[in-house]
Amino acid sequence: MGTNLVVIYIGALLITIIFLFYLRWKLPYRLKIKHFLGDWKDLQELCRDKSTWRLAIVDADKLVEKALKKRKHKGKSMGERMVDAQRIFTDNPGLWEAHNLCKKIVSNPKRVLSESVVKKALISYRQALKDLGALPNAHTKKRK
């Protein structure tokens, strides 16, 4: 009878471990705001010089993609992940416009950008990062 109890305990332990791994794999990853905030501040430094505005847009797009991947949104491309997460975004059309601008910049690096277009795109990217929980919102409590 004692060996039966041991087998039952080991079985229950294995089932619990498998269940915890499943939850860890399926549930969205909690993003570390501090890391994304540091990356966002680095990106903002690129906005000081007109010659690096293109790089700022591309980096912002990559940062949103990184957040989408970490939050486990499905898709093979950035666009597919954005579609999967579209109900989360408070400015979905603005984010699509910013993403399309990024794709145009990558395909044509000499494209001339106006300050207003760059600002609008970066504002959309910032809001997307807030919506994903990668940047703090005004109502987000600071974590210690």
Q: What is the pLDDT of residues 41-57, one digit of tens each?
A: 999 999 999 999 999 99
CA 91 from centre of chain: 15
Same domain, 68 and 125: yes
pTM flag (> 0.85): no
| Separation of CA 120 from chain center | 19
Provide the number of structural domains found in the chain: 2
Verify that 95 and 120 share a domain, yes or no: yes
Whether residue 108 is found in the same domain as residue 48: yes
Q: Report the pLDDT value the prediction gives residue 4, as an integer from 0 to 100.
A: 78
Q: What is the pLDDT of residue 67?
A: 94
Mean pLDDT of 64-91: 94
**Residue 144, pLDDT score:** 41
| Three-state SS sequence of 31-84 | CCHHHHHHHHHHHHHHCCCHHHHHHHHHHHHHHHHHHHHHCCCCCCCHHHHHHH
Closest Cα to residue 26, out of 78, 76, 73? 73
CA distance 107 to 76: 20
